[in-house]
Structures are given as C-alpha cells and as structure tokens.
Chain A
Amino acid sequence: MKDTTGIDRPIIALQGVEKYYGDYQALRGITADIGAGEFFSLLGPSGCGKTTLLRTIAGFEAPSAGRLSIDGRDMSRVPANRRPTNMVFQSYAIFPHLSVAENVGFGLRRSALSKEENSRRVGEALEMVGLGGYGSRAAHALSGGQRQRVALARALILKPKVLLLDEPLSALDRKLRETMQMELRKLQRQVGITFVLVTHDQEEALIMSDRIAVMFDGQIAQLDDPQTLYRRPVSRQVADFIGVMNFLPAQAEAQEGRQVAVTIPGLGRAEIDAEQVPGGLHPGQAASVGIRPETMSILFAGEETERRVAQATVEDLAYYGDMTYYTVRMRGVDAPLTISMKNLVGRPVLARGTETRVAWDARSLVLFA
C-alpha cells in the first residue's frame, strides 16, 4: 500500500540537508524521500541549488548539516566512488581519448571481468541506448545526442541503485530533446532504476516524472506528482513557474466544513473546496486566486454553457496553429487574463477588439494566501 508520500519504499532519504559555500547557503534544509524505482525530478530556476543537491547525493559535496541515506545506509562516511549511484554529467564528461566502448566499459575496470564478459556487457549497454555497433568509434567525434547516450550507457553499466542526471537534455535541440524525453522515460521503466533528474524546464519535468520537487532558493517549495503540482500549486511562486497561470486579487473567508467563500472583483462570489487552497488559508491576509488559461473559454456566437459567464474584450491574441492564446480584459478587472482555445474545426479566431463572453468554473480556481 502506498503511504501519503506516494512511494512504496524510500531509496534516498534526505533529512534537513544544508550546504554552505563560504557564507552563501546553497541548500536550506532539504527533507525528502525518493522512492525506489521512481522517476524523480528536481525542478527550479537556475541557481536554486539543484546541481548542488544532486552532487550531494552523488558524494561530490559534503552536506554542511543534515543526513543523507541511500538504501537505508547512512552516506556520511561513504565517498563518491563507493556510492551505489552513478551520474550523467551536464557536460556528459565523455573521456575524449578513449573509444566509445572504452568509455562505456570504464566502470567495469575494477570488477576484473574476463575480456569476453566485458565486451558482452559493453555491447549490451550500447544496444540499450541504441548505439549498437558504435563501440570502436572515437568518443570525441560523436554528435551531442550520441554523446548523451554514451554517458547514459556508461552510467548504467554498473547497474546503480540510483541514476543521477544533471540537465542531460538541455544541450540538445528541440526535436532531439523531445525524442530523448520519451526514450529516457522508456529506458527508466525498462531498467527499473531510480532516476533523479535535474531540470529547469517545467514541461520536461511534467512529461517525464513520477514526482517533482520544485525548488526555489535552496528549498523545496512543493513535492508532488505532476498533476497535483499543476492543478494545486501551493504558492503563487510555484504556480507561476509551472505553466501559465492568471492571478486575480480576491477576498476569502473560511466557512464551516470544507467550504471557503471567495469574492473576486470582476468574476463575483464563488464557493470553493478546501482542497483548492493547497497552501492553506491565513485569515486576514490578502489573497489571490489563480486560474489556468485552458480552464476558461471564450463563448463563440450562440454558444451556451452551464458554467459561469463574464463579459470581456479581446485585447490581443497569439495564433499557434493548434491553439490560440487570447489576452482578454474583463469588465471590472485591472489585469488582463490569458485564455487558451483549441482551434477546432469551424471555430473562428476572434479579431482584436471583439466583445465576447468568457466562461469559467469555480472548481478550477486555486486560492493563494
């Protein structure tokens, strides 16, 4: 049975991990469990401490405070070369003077395998990442995508308990990156090893992960599965970082039970569930509501709806082919709102200045204290 954190058995346990570089605190108390066999992502803006945390797990940085255990073993006295983790470096760190096969087989040097066994395992590893037959190539002559695969094969050949990946896809172009996202995900299911991925790309994290830790400023702001993270962000900062969200000022008062009443200038009064206040409500504080662009819709001529309706004017639009993003201004609301509409067959694209009606639903609101 899964517990409340959603994991069966923790493979990595972080407890109040802190890291100082001189006076600068890069990690401010990280507490989290990462489950065995999980695809786990560390997501956050550049400089928030993702790499530092990953390197702490790998053993390249010693935490200034806190505890780290891997597979139930305390790691404070275990050096990097004895940890059951392997890493794919951001630069890939392919050894340029060795062949592809020598790179991939590097970790086997210490296991004293026979020559045949060695080349069999190297061949298997290369096969696994789709580089069968590349063994004798010079490593420095490979393309970016191929280097990334070599780095993967090299790290996986030792069958680590945890594979650590530091922005492995950020150097690839968009098409290749999207292919690799799917491949990495497939590979992880196939080998069953825990993957810890560092990324600053929220879309990548959503696509690939079982769970995501969103980090700001050396702290985990929220740790959840992708859907919860997207639909119920605990703070405006998290909401702003994951996807697009509109924010409107609001007044809220808690009622009996699980109901919260909110008044939103321009939209009116709405009853929402306590679950829609993931960060908790602090009485007396100024609140705001968040609403995702795809949860609102433009009502085209003659369309009727059960949902609530407000009047708006199209201020601007961006046509993406499959989608149109409208910037609308609602009567009585200061800030413009973004609404995304699928370009279905027969659905027009409205011009700037068009008066229209907008439908929204109280169930899609998120309230932030």
Chain B
Amino acid sequence: MGLRIYAVLYLIFLYAPIALLPIFAFNDGTIIAFPLRGFTTEWFRQLTEIPALHGAVLNSLIIAVSSAVIATLLGICAARAATRFVFPGKKGIMGLIMLPLVLPEIIVAVSLLVVLLQLGLPLGAWTVVLGHVLICVPFSVAILNSAFQSLDVSLEEAAIDLGETRWSSFRLITLPLVMPGIISSLLISFTISLDEFIIAFFLTGTDPTLPVYLWGQLRFPQKIPVVMALGTLLVLASVILLAVAEYVRRRGAARTGQRDTGGLM
C-alpha cells in the first residue's frame, strides 16, 4: 500500500509539469498562472511565423537524424562484437561504451568543449552530433545487445552452409532479424538528440538547436505561451516516437516467435 502511494506521488511529481504544458499552450493569456482565461490556438499559429524557430527546427532535425544513424551503426558493431566474439578486455570496453549513461551530461559537454577548443576545431552542427552520438550509443548498444543476444549463432552459419557468403548471410538473415532493434535504436537516439539541451548548448556554434533556441526565448515573458505550445508539440512528438519504437520492437519479436527479452521499456 505504501509503495502504491509512493508510486502515485512519484508519477504526479514527474508528469505534472508536463501536463501544465498543453494547459497553458491553449490558454488565452500571456501570464502563466491560474485561473485559466479561455481557449485559443493563437500560440500555435504564431509558431508558424518565426523564421529563426524554423531554422532551429531544421538544424535539430539534421543533427538528430545524423546522431541516430551514426549511433545506431556504432551500436550494431558493438552489439555484434559483444554477443558473438570472446576477446580480451571485452568487459572493460563494454563498460567504457556504456559510461556516458551514468556520466552527468554537463561533464560530457564541458570535457568535449575543452578538447575541441584545445584542438582549435570550430564549433557547429557536427560537434553537437559528436556529443549526441556519445550519449546515444549506450542506449543503442543496450537495445541492440538484446536483439543480437536472442539470435541463434548457428543461423548465419546455416546460411553460409547453404552457399551464402559471410556478408550476404548477415544481410539475409541477421539484419532482418535485428531490424526491429535497429529501428527502435534509431527512433530512441533521434528522440534523445532532439530533446537534448546541455551538450547542444555548449557545443552548438552560431546555429542553435531547438532546445537551445527555446531556452533563449524564455527571457521574453510575452513569448512564454509560444514556448509552451512548442513544448507541447515536442512532448507529443517524443511520446509518439518512443511508442512507435517499442511497438516495432515487440512486433518484430512476436513475428519471429522470439521470447520478449525486454528492451529499454
């Protein structure tokens, strides 16, 4: 019983602020306070009229797609190596890959910044991608590890035995079987990158990402409802992406009759 009360309180504490977003996004008033003043879609309309915002959205999308693709490719290599081969120092290497999961993002951000400045490299979209790949890879590896682990090692050998090459048996057998994991990893990495603020804040050059742009707008009180509207859309997009990711993973597991090994969620 005590545990249930705790769980309910925890969920309220966690999600109440997010519930406030749509409430004020549709509230007809510039001041974020109760009582509500009436219903409006004005703030959403205003969103469509800010070129700087559109630039930030485009920038964020490019960064998120690049980070997702790179992190997932690296994740595939790491997960395959981890589940298929025995090599010295495997535990240590895997631990190192998973490290950013528990490292405060600010530390990742600052240390990357220091290194980049030391090397005299210019900041820009690619440096943000670099940082995001670093924090996305652990998620990608975790998801893909479970996808690769549920594969019978003999499957690829059976394909080779039937005349295929190493690469074609990977493409024909392994790839389709881990595809749900790959899609899941792409979507989750994309979402992480899209929402990420601290690394983007430190490493972005002159073109801000969406969260960085949003943060900039908070200085202007009259723009807060617009920010709320934008936040509502972001939350909606994130929830949809994560739900799709989990759906794809589960459906893939069911279709091939594999045991659900429990992915990220």
Q: Which residues of A contact B (CB under 8 A)?
A: 58, 60, 80-82, 85-87, 89-91, 93, 95-97, 106-107, 109-110, 138, 140-141, 154-155, 158
Contacts and interface: CB of A to CB of B under 8 A. Distances in A.
Interface string B151-171: 010110111111111000000
| Most chain A CB inside 10 Å of its own CB: which residue of B155, B161, B255, B257 | B161
Contact of B152 (A81, A86, A93): A93
Contacts of A80: 157, 160-161
B252 to A, nearest CB: 9
A184 B38 CA distance: 79
A158 B163 contact: yes
| Most chain A CB inside 10 Å of its own CB: which residue of B158, B173, B176 | B158
Given A93-B155, A95-B173, A140 B256 contact: yes
30 contacts: A58-B161, A60-B157, A60-B160, A80-B157, A81-B163, A86-B161, A86-B162, A87-B157, A87-B158, A89-B157, A89-B158, A90-B154, A91-B152, A93-B154, A95-B159, A96-B177, A96-B256, A97-B176, A97-B255, A97-B256, A106-B159, A106-B162, A107-B162, A109-B162, A109-B163, A110-B163, A141-B257, A154-B162, A158-B162, A158-B163
A154 B158 CA distance: 10
B256 A81 contact: no
Interface residues of B, number: 19
B258 interface: yes
Interface of B: 152, 154-155, 157-165, 173, 176-177, 255-258
A34 to B, nearest CB: 18
B165 A81 contact: yes
A140 B257 contact: yes
A97 B162 contact: no
Closest 4 CB pairs between A and B? Answer: A140-B257, A107-B162, A93-B154, A93-B158
A81 B154 CA distance: 14
Given A97-B176, A158-B162, A158-B163, A89 B154 contact: yes
Contacts of A87: 157-158, 161
Contact of B177 (A97, A141, A154, A158): A97
A82 B177 CA distance: 25
| Most chain A CB inside 10 Å of its own CB: which residue of B162, B163, B256 | B162
Contacts of A86: 161-162
Contacts of B258: 96, 140
A80 B160 CA distance: 7
A22 B47 CA distance: 65
B187 to A, nearest CB: 21
A335 to B, nearest CB: 44
Given A106-B162, A109-B163, A96 B257 contact: yes
A89 B158 CA distance: 8
A13 B155 CA distance: 28
A81 B164 contact: yes
A254 to B, nearest CB: 51
A328 B154 CA distance: 49
Contacts of B152: 91, 93
B183 to A, nearest CB: 14
Contacts of A106: 159, 162
B199 to A, nearest CB: 37
Nearest to A140: B257
Contacts of B256: 96-97, 140
Contacts of B160: 60, 80-81
